[in-house]
Amino acid sequence: MHPTTFTDAAEQYLENLELENGRNIPDKKKKLEQQIVPYFGDMPLSEINRFEIERFKRHLLAQGLKESTVNRYLAVISQLFHKAVEWDWLVKVPCRVVKYGENNIRTRYLDAGEIEALLEAAQKDECPVIEPFIRIALGTAMRRTEILSIKIEDINCARQEIFIPKAKCGARMQPMTAGLTTYLTHYLQYQTKPGQTYLFPANRSISGHREEIEKPFYRVVTAAGLDRYQVCRHTLRHTAITHLVQAGVDLPTVQRFSGHRSIQMVFRYSHQSKDHLHWALEQMESRLKTRTKGQPS
């Protein structure tokens, strides 16, 4: 029998995602349990309309959530609606879920001094895995879920790469820096246990690995003297990609490193610092002077 209420649909939705090896299931489950299911409850799935979605959006904003955070909840509802059609629970999507507009250009990234302060704070923190998490993020630009689900067998220090079987845009081999390779070689030898499967294990997790890292991360951010409202987990990925661009690496290579689907998506992360722009102009000026030297006036 097909689920009729939103509560029943949410439960079956999560079960089906497990069978399909869906992505970010723990995060979706958390969002459903904390806000979405309590709000929509026994409301018939087929009768949820645009008006109810707008009321839900205002409900979340009234709790102090940012529009970007509200959009993450709306994304779960939207996928549930489309899966309901795919799985023949509904003939058509009940309504279009309209998200808030977001500024996709994230301008905050860490400079060398801030990175040093963050790593120093991570080394002193009580959480034993926060330092390797930060180092991997900075040394690979991998996403949070990709990092936390790393299997030890997928780390190849000899080839300086990590295999990501369930990356956002498909499985890929992720290169890592020489410094990170040295760090992980030592970490695997002295900080992991025989027979350990995941680099970040969690016995109480259904997946077998950690699903969240927020609390220790923001604790370390604060200890490093950084603003936790400006520096988030994604800042680490953004930092790695930005410094690649500022080092003069071409965008197609950056795209391969970051795992983005297109170069257009890389542009969102590749803003330049003023110093880097001045350096680029100096290189252009030097090149022009070289080409015009000796030519008749």
Give the tens place of pLDDT for each residue, 187-237: 999 999 999 999 999 988 888 999 889 999 999 999 999 988 788 888 998
23 beta partners = none
The pTM of this model reads 0.60
**pLDDT for the residue 265:** 64
pLDDT at 277: 54
Give the C-alpha separation, 42 to 95, whole Å: 17
Q: Is the pLDDT of residue 131 over 80?
A: yes
pLDDT for res 54: 94
Least confident of 8-22, 66-80, 108-122, 252-266: 252-266
* Phi-psi label, residue 204: left if phi above 0, alpha if psi -120 to 50, beta otherwise: alpha
- The percentage of the chain sitting over the pLDDT mark of 70, rounded to a whole number, equals 85
Spatial neighbors of 34 by CB under 8 A, at least 6 apart, are none
Domains and CATH numbers, the chain: 6-86 (1.10.150), 112-272 (1.10.443.10)
**CB atoms inside a 10 Å sphere around CB 136:** 26
* Residues 6, 38 contacting (CB under 8 angstroms): no
| 228-255: average pLDDT | 81
Computed over every residue of the chain, the mean pLDDT equals: 85
Q: How confident is the model at residue 91 (pLDDT cuts 50, 70, 90)?
A: very high
Q: Tell me, what's the pLDDT at 263? A: 65
Which has the higher per-residue pLDDT, 249 or 189?
A: 189
The angle, 0 to 180 degrees and rounded to 10, between the axes of the packed helices 130-140 and 214-223 is 80
Query: Per-residue pLDDT tens for 132-181?
Result: 999 999 999 898 999 999 999 999 999 999 999 877 767 888 988 899 99
Residue with tokens 């995941």: 198
What are 182-190's contacts with CB under 8 Å, separation 24+?
A: 183/132, 183/135, 183/139, 184/132, 184/136, 184/155, 184/157, 185/157, 187/132, 188/152, 188/155, 188/157
